[in-house]
Amino acid sequence: MRKAVCPGSFDPVTNGHLDIISRTSALFDEVVVAIGVNKAKASARLFSAEERIAMLEQACAPFGNVTVAGFEGLLTSFCEENGIKAIVKGLRAVSDFDYELQMAQMNSSLVDVETIFIPTSPEYSFLASSLVKEVATFGGDVSRLVPEFVLARLTERLAEKRSAAPGA
C-alpha cells in the first residue's frame, strides 16, 4: 500500500492545492492531506484548524483515496505515527525550491521519509493562499482560484472581519 502525505497550512485551500492533491491521489493508493495546526500561529490564520479541515474534507470528497487530518508538531512525527514514507509538495517556481529542499533534507535526516516534488500546473504557478486573501480583502476577483464554497466562506469571513474592525 503506497501512502503519501500532502502537508500544508491551507488557509484556505486553493485550486492550486487541489491540483497537487488530485495528481498525488492518482499516483498513490492512499493520500492524507495533513493540516499543520501550529497553535502559536493560530491568531495569524483567517480560518481555524477545524474550519480548514472541514473545507478540505468538502473539497477532497470527490477523491476516493484522500483523507484529511490535522497535525501538531513535526510533520515527520505525523509520518511515523501514520506509516507514511512519502511527503508530496507542489513546486510553483524556482523560488520555492531552496526552502523546500532544506525542509526535505531536514525531514529525511529525522526519519525514513522521502519528499517528492510535483511541478504546479502553469495556470496555478502564481497562486498562494496568502495572495488569495490579500486580493479578496481589497475586493479583487478570486473566483477562478478557489472552489465556489471556499469563495463563499472567504467572502463571509472577510465581511465579519471588516465589521469587527471598521476602518482597519
Q: Is 90 in the site for ligand PNS (CB under 6 A)?
A: no
Residue whose cell numbers read 492550486: 16
Q: Is 159 in the site for ligand PNS (CB under 6 A)?
A: no
Burial code of 83-96, b = ≥16 C-beta within 10 A, e = fewer?
A: ebebbbbbbbeeeb
Give the residue numbers annotated as catalytic, written as ranges: 17, 41, 92, 129
Query: What does the alpha-carbon distance between residue 9 and residue 91 come to, in Å, rounded to a whole number?
Result: 15
Q: Is 74 in the site for ligand PNS (CB under 6 A)?
A: yes
Query: What does the alpha-carbon distance between residue 109 and residue 76 come to, in Å, rounded to a whole number?
Result: 10
Nearer to ligand PNS, 9 or 25 (CB): 9
Nearer to ligand PNS, 109 or 163 (CB): 109
Q: Characterize the bridge pairing of strands 3-8 and 86-91.
A: parallel
Q: Is 131 in the site for ligand PNS (CB under 6 A)?
A: no
Nearer to ligand PNS, 87 or 151 (CB): 87
* Residue from the set 27, 42, 101, 106 that interacts with ligand PNS by CB under 6 A: 106
* Residue from the set 5, 6, 9, 133 that interacts with ligand PNS by CB under 6 A: 9
- Count CA atoms closer than 13 A to 30's CA, side-chain side: 11
Q: Measured between alpha carbons, how far is residue 86 from residues 12, 59, 167 in Å?
A: 23, 22, 46
Q: Is 118 in the site for ligand PNS (CB under 6 A)?
A: no
Q: Is 75 in the site for ligand PNS (CB under 6 A)?
A: yes
Q: Is 116 in the site for ligand PNS (CB under 6 A)?
A: no
